Amino acid sequence: MTKKKSKKRYSNKDYVAKLKKAKVINDLTRGCTLEKAEANAGYKKGTYTPSSRTFQEVLQEILPDEFLVQKHKELMDDHRNIREIVISTTDDLAIKKAIKGLTNVSVVKNTERGYTTLIINEPDKQARRDALEMAYKIKGHYAPQQIEIKRDYQELSDEELTALVQDIHDDDANPLK
């Protein structure tokens, strides 16, 4: 017989402490001072002691990967209603003919009143694009921003650089030259 893994349970006191710490972190990331963040979270002045855990560890505890994956999948699967068509029949053959060639159509029959509503959906492309972009950022798959550094004087020797600086200094000292 296998033992079921029990979920880690926290006492109410631990839970409240975690919420308070999360509130402090949230306020600090929004630019509050530590003193103000402590007060907002309900700590008495100077009683908040930050944990020695890293931000990533705290973030993992507050927003576990499983939760993020679930919400991300919901975003990816999200559809939006783009058009509704009402046809004045509930006949299955007529409905099949009406939806031929369409994809992702919901059919709602109102047999009492004798009509059918066709709801045509499409993927919410903006939500999917945002979700994918977010996933790539979280996974670290975006290349870091590249900055081109020009070094016009890199090939000059020390003597040439010294002479160039001296010329500039002489020009500044004698503007009428």
57 and 99 fall within a common domain = no
- CA 139 from centroid of its chain's CA atoms: 11
Residue 37: inside a domain: yes
38 and 86 fall within a common domain = no
Burial class (CB in 10 A: 0-12, 13-18, 19+), 33: exposed
Residue 97: inside a domain: yes
Q: What is the largest CA-CA distance in the chain?
A: 99
Which H/E stretch holds residue 152? none
Residue 78: inside a domain: yes
Residue 47: inside a domain: yes
Owning domain of residue 53: 12-62
State the CB neighbour count (10 A cutoff) for residue 14: 10
SS (H, E, C) 38-90: HHHHCCCCCCCCCCCCCHHHHHHHHCCHHHHHHHHHHHHHCEEEEEEEEECCC
Stated pTM of the model: 0.32
Residues 50-94 have pLDDT tens digits of: 666 676 777 777 777 788 778 778 777 776 767 888 888 888 998
The domain boundary, picked from 41, 62, 83, lies at 62
Q: Which residue has the tokens 């029959």?
A: 109
Residue 172: inside a domain: no
Q: How many domains does the chain have?
A: 2
Residue 144: inside a domain: no
Residues 115-168 have pLDDT tens digits of: 999 888 877 778 778 877 877 777 666 666 667 777 777 777 888 878 888 887
Conformation bin of residue 101: beta by default, left when phi > 0, alpha when psi is -120 to 50 = left
